[in-house]
């Protein structure tokens, strides 16, 4: 029978190197490969790590967004700022540069035509990418937003007061749904927990409103709330209020 090692005794570790990976894979040395724009660089002795060219990430569907951003930075020298709401900001742009930026975006097929619901919405990847996901989120959200926008318009509401919507496929809440005016959290396959009462600035927690709502029923449940809000809201009152 094996005896337990004494405290402080040394024993060689049998743990394998961390096998988790990020895009680009893992180096043989056990360290992650760093993804960055630019050519491959020399690496330290004994290491197979290197940087990968951004050209490995192709633009898609006729929209060359990544190429456009690279061209904008090269021509203007402006900084790109990523926000917690998954937006990109081109900072410190003057009027002359803005005109050139609009031209570059048009040349690369990039349009800024998202409606207000889409601008104020966010979802985590969920199924099939995330191993923790219990329900759909990112793939389901576009169709859900179309239904919500139709219900919002049918209630007689305009785009000025459109609420923030955040959706996740599990309670880990990577898209921070508990801070949104409408928060949707997946609890199991095609069943969601609905939260209401956050604010647009994401400085207030929302509260549970409905449990285990089927995905196809979410728009109908929220349509009732939209009508109530349209009938009883006060001047300057946001949806989450």
pTM above 0.75, yes or no: no
Task: Report the SS3 class of residue 179.
Answer: helix
Question: What pLDDT does 189 receive?
Answer: 96
| Residues 6+ away with beta carbon under 8 Å from 61 | none
**Pairwise CA distance, residues 136 & 127, whole Å:** 5
Low-confidence ranges of the chain (pLDDT < 50): 5, 7-10, 12-13, 15-58
Give me the pLDDT at residue 112, please. 76
Distance CA 92, CA 114 (A): 23
What pLDDT shows up at residue 22?
A: 36
- Residue-wise pLDDT for 98-123, tens only, equals 999 999 999 998 887 778 888 899 99
pLDDT at 4: 53
Q: Give the E-state strand segments of the chain in sequence order.
A: 34-35, 51-52, 80-82, 88-90, 121-123, 165-168, 182-188, 191-196, 207-214
Evaluate whether 189 touches 135 at the Cβ level (below 8 Å). Answer: yes
pLDDT computed for residue 240 by the predictor: 95
Which pairing describes strands 34-35 and 165-168: parallel, antiparallel, or unpaired? Answer: unpaired
Give the pLDDT confidence score for residue 6 in this predicted structure. Answer: 52
Altogether, the residues listed in the chain come to a count of 241
Structure tokens at 215: 């995905």
């Amino acid at each position: 029978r094996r005896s337990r090692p004494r405290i402080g005794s040394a024993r060689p570790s049998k743990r394998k190197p961390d096998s988790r990976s990020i895009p680009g894979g893992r180096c043989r040395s056990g360290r992650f490969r760093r993804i960055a724009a630019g050519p491959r660089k020399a690496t330290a002795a004994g290491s197979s790590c290197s940087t990968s060219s951004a050209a490995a990430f192709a633009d898609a569907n006729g929209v060359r967004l990544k190429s456009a951003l690279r061209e904008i930075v090269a021509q203007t020298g402006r900084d790109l700022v990523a926000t917690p709401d998954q937006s990109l900001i081109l900072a410190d742009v003057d009027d002359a540069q803005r005109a050139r930026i609009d031209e570059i975006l048009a040349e690369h097929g990039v349009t800024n035509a998202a409606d207000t619901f889409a601008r104020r919405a966010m979802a985590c990847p969920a199924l099939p990418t995330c191993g923790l996901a219990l329900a759909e989120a990112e793939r389901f959200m576009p169709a859900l937003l179309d239904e919500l926008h139709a219900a919002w318009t049918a209630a007689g509401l305009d785009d000025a007061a459109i609420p923030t919507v955040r959706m996740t496929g599990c309670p880990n809440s990577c898209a921070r749904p508990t801070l949104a005016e409408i928060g949707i959290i997946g609890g199991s396959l095609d069943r969601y927990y609905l939260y209401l009462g956050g604010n647009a600035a994401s400085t207030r927690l929302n509260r549970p409103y409905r449990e285990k709502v089927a995905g196809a029923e979410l728009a109908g449940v929220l349509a009732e709330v939209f009508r109530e809000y349209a009938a009883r809201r006060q001047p300057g009152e946001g949806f989450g209020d």
